[in-house]
Amino acid sequence: MADVIRVLLVDDDALVRAGLSMMLDGVGDIAVVGEAGDGREAMTAVDAHSPDVVLMDLQMPHVDGITATRRLRARPRAPEVIVLTTFDTDENIVHALRAGAGGFLLKDTPPAQIAEAVTLVAAGNPMLSPGVMRRLMDRTVAQAGQYERARTALAALTPREHDVAVAIANGRSNAEIAAELLMSVTTVKSHVSAMLTKLGLDNRTQIALLAHDADLV
């Protein structure tokens, strides 16, 4: 049993858990050692069964899959986590990976690929559905475009306006910016007004977002 990959299933749908259990138990080097109906139960189940890999749903009552993943991965000797969901939004993908998931699969993934993902992730190798990988690639390209556009826009600012933009992005008030940059509040306001005109923006929140897109903070 030392070479068998121990798997915990976490999903609020008992039929999904039953199907996954039947499928994975048919793979020679994988054993389903436990189940949980939500992220809260997953904590107790991990303590009880010491799985190597957790197959984690996202949309569950009490504690959702992303929160459960973050909590599990923060533990010493944490199990690997593969998110298995029908919700492949950009937000879910990014949040799950940031929480520490080693894999992100859709529930329509063929059984052989789910088993392959368990084996790969257990060995420390990431595994993403092809569609998920494409979304991440598209997101990266889009973010690169946002970065270049933001950098180009901010190049129109004077060095002092640039400093004020960074301070705004860091959440500073006009009074705090004035104290930090050794200028009057009136001067800060003048810089903000000038930046809004140059950048074609409506408010300081948009300045902050532009600074974030340019990776200045």
Q: For 103-160, write each residue's pLDDT tens digit.
A: 899 888 899 999 999 999 998 888 888 777 777 767 666 666 778 888 899 999 999 9
CB 180 within 8 A of CB 169: no
Q: Supply the pLDDT for residue 139.
A: 67
Residue-wise DSSP of 83-129: EEES---HHHHHHHHHHT-SEEEETTS-HHHHHHHHHHHHTT--EE-
Tell me, what's the pLDDT at 143?
A: 66
Q: What is the pLDDT of residue 24?
A: 93
Q: 91 near 101, Cβ under 8 Å?
A: no
- The series of mean pLDDT values per 10 residues for the chain, 217 residues long, is 86 95 90 95 95 95 93 91 86 86 90 92 85 70 76 92 92 90 94 92 83 83
pLDDT for 26 equals 83
- Model pTM score: 0.66
- Residue 92: per-residue pLDDT: 85
Domains of the chain (ranges; CATH) run 5-128 (3.40.50.2300), 136-213 (3.40.50.2300)
Query: Please, which residues have CB within 8 angstroms of residue 204's CB and are 6 or more apart in sequence?
Result: 168, 192, 196
Q: 81: Cβ–Cβ under 8 A, 6 or more apart, which residues?
A: 53, 54, 56, 69, 72, 73, 99, 100, 101, 102, 103
Look at residue 20 in the predicted model and tell me its pLDDT: 95
Is 103 within 8 Å of 127 (Cβ atoms)?
A: yes
Helix axes 39-49 and 65-73, enclosed angle (nearest 10):
30
How many residues are listed for the chain in this entry?
217
CB-based contacts of 17, cutoff 8 Å, min separation 6: 9, 11, 35
What is the pLDDT at residue 9?
97
Q: CA 123, CA 32: separation in Å to the nearest integer?
A: 17
Are 125 and 105 in contact, with CB atoms under 8 Å apart? no
Q: Note the Cα 95 to chain centre separation in Å.
A: 2
Q: What is the pLDDT of residue 95?
A: 87
Q: Which residues contact 5 (CB under 8 A, 6 or more apart)?
A: 29, 30, 31, 52, 53, 118, 119, 122
